[in-house]
Structures are given as structure tokens and as C-alpha cells.
Amino acid sequence: MSVLVDIDTAVIVQGMGKTGRFHTDKAIAYGTKTVGAVHPSRAGQTERFTGATDHTGVQGRPDSYDVEVPIFGSVAEAVAGTGAVASVVYVPPPFAADAIMEAADAGVPLVIAITEGIPVADMVVAKRYLQDRNTRLVGPNCPGVITPQQCKIGIMPGYIHTPGKVGVVSRSGTLTYEAVHQLTRNGLGQTTAIGIGGDPVNGTNFVDCLELFNDDPDTEGVIMIGEIGGTAEEEAAEWIAANMTKPVAGFIAGMSAPPGKRMGHAGAIISGGMGTAAAKIDALEAAGVVMAPTPTDMGAAMMEALGA
């Protein structure tokens, strides 16, 4: 079991430029069921991917792949033509929010937006648009979602992951890789790793992911990696205290970050002093989360939380 994505998840790609193509190739090599792509001016064409497969020994996978991915003119056509249930967005920042809304309009249940640098105002509109629609957005500005050896949607290095029992959720890309790497090394492995992204306005949040992992029978514990700014970690702490039945480990980046450097002067005020790393760590510890003092200790903190 896993959350959000598995071996049957049929994915379409929005934004088949240089970056999109590069990562689509890696995803197909990893085994992701990539069924189509969207490009208004290339409808009817195909994009070919060939190469050597990752983790070939698993589930009788062949050692190479050679696939033609059909290109559609719109998300709606791609969904109609392929039955895709997920979309990954590599569209450049000025057009990415529109791509997300198009996917929602087409009824895609899961949209994973990798794009970094989308204007906040565009995301405010996109989030408003998603409010009344049955689409879950992950990201933007995130590495994506991976269920080891089943489905990799995004830009994370596949080989560091291994199937296992820990759910990973994080606002930071490279810190996710650190955590995953340690969980692979200490033998715990991952059920699914979700990057929720580093933008101030994003789709899926910590609480959503904790809920998913709490309900997933194969997930035995969760590690959540947060950072300064906003109150998502505090909200997660509240939810954990009230609802979480599984052990949680955590790490918060930004203990030494100078105040006011990235956020506007009044930006910190809404949360009433709740944007600092110290406040987040306190809230999570009070909720029973085992906090790693440094990123190097994330794997060990998860071990401790699991009593392993």
C-alpha cells in the first residue's frame, strides 16, 4: 500500500519542454505509467522515450524501455484519450497556474505541480478555483510524489528510495532526499514520499498528508520536515495531538534564519509570532513528535519514534 500514487497511476505530463522531457524520461525508466502529454501546438504527435530501466529485478520488469507517449492538445482531450488520473506540471511559471486550473477543469483528481517561481497572485487565484472542484493539488515548487519502485512523479532521484514503512512529507526538496536516504540506509524505507513545496500558497498541506498516512495500513510512522514561515507546522501539531495514531518524527529548518529577511515586515504578524522555527519545534514536541536536532539525525529520530 501507499498513498496518492502507485503502480497503476496513469499520469499525463503538462509542459513537455526540456525539463519536462528530461524528468519524464527518468520517470518512465523508474516505471511510472506515463500515458500522455499536453502541448497545444503538437497535438497528434508523439514523444518517444528509450533507455535502460531502473530496479530491473523487481516484479519482472524488463531491462529497457521504448515508448511512444501521445501528445494531446488539451488536458481534457488527454484525459478522454488515456483515462489519466494524475497530471504533473512542468509548465513555466507564467503559465503554470493556468495549467493547474485546466487540469482541475478536466477533472484530473491529482495534480502535482513541480514548477518553481509561480507568482503568488496566480496561485491565490488557482487555489480559489480548486476550492469547488474535486482536484487535489500537490505543490507547486516541490520535488513531487514517489512510491518507491512503483511510481515516481517529479524530479527526485529515484534510486535513493526503497519500499518500506515510513511516510515522508516535506516542504523542502533536498531535505526530503536527506531523510529518504537515511531511511533507506537504516532499513525503514518509505511507503510514499510527498513534497508539498516551499511556496507560501500551496495545495496539499501537512495535515492532509498526515491524514493520508494515518489511514494507510502499510505506513507505520511518518516523518515531517518543515521550515520557517506560515503556520502549517503548528496546524499539523494540533492535528497530530488530536488524531494521529502513528508515531511521528520531525525536523524544522531555519533555527538560525534572520527574521524579516525573506518575508515582508508585516508578514510574520498574521501568525502572531508563530512563524519561527522555535515555535514550530515547541508545538510539534508538545504534540509528541520526536524532533531531530539536525538533518543528520532525521533517520535516527524516526527510529526512536517507532521504538525500533
225 is an interface residue for other proteins by CB under 8 A: yes
- Specify the residue, 84 or 196, whose C-beta has the smaller distance to other proteins: 196
Q: 3-state secondary structure string, the chain? A: CCCCCCCCCEEEEECCCHHHHHHHHHHHHHCCEEEEEECHHHCCCEEEEEEECCCCCHHHCCCEEEEEEEEECCHHHHHHHHCCCEEEECCCHHHHHHHHHHHHHCCCCEEEECCCCCCHHHHHHHHHHHCCCCCEEECCCCCEEEECCCEEEECCCHHHCCEEEEEEEECCHHHHHHHHHHHHHCCCCEEEEEECCCCCCCCCCHHHHHHHHHHCCCCCEEEEEEECCCCHHHHHHHHHHHHCCCCEEEEEECCCCCCCCCCCCCCCCCCCCCCCHHHHHHHHHHCCCEECCCHHHHHHHHHHHHCC
Contact 239, 231 (CB under 8 A): no
Identify the residue among 10, 67, 76, 257 touching other proteins (CB under 8 A).
257
C-alpha cell, 104: 482541475
173 is an interface residue for other proteins by CB under 8 A: yes
Closest approach, Cβ 83 to other proteins, in A, equals 30
3 is an interface residue for other proteins by CB under 8 A: no
41 is an interface residue for other proteins by CB under 8 A: no
Closest approach, Cβ 109 to other proteins, in A, equals 20
Contact 229, 275 (CB under 8 A): yes
229 is an interface residue for other proteins by CB under 8 A: yes
178 is an interface residue for other proteins by CB under 8 A: yes
Identify the residue among 171, 190, 213, 214 touching other proteins (CB under 8 A).
171
224 is an interface residue for other proteins by CB under 8 A: no
Contact 209, 196 (CB under 8 A): yes
| Residue 181 falls in the annotated catalytic set | no
200 is an interface residue for other proteins by CB under 8 A: yes
Closest approach, Cβ 128 to other proteins, in A, equals 5
- Specify the residue, 72 or 177, whose C-beta has the smaller distance to other proteins: 177
Please identify, among the stretches 30-38, 68-76, 105-113, 149-157, the one whose residues bind other proteins according to the rule CB under 8 A: 149-157
Identify the residue among 7, 58, 80, 124 touching other proteins (CB under 8 A).
124
Identify the residue among 51, 119, 187, 288 touching other proteins (CB under 8 A).
119
Identify the residue among 55, 254, 282, 306 touching other proteins (CB under 8 A).
254
The catalytic site residues sit at 265
Task: Give the interface with other proteins as residue ranges (CB under 8 A).
Answer: 93-94, 117-125, 127-128, 143, 155-157, 160, 170-175, 177-178, 181, 198, 200-201, 225, 227-232, 235, 251, 253-258, 261, 264-273, 277, 293-297
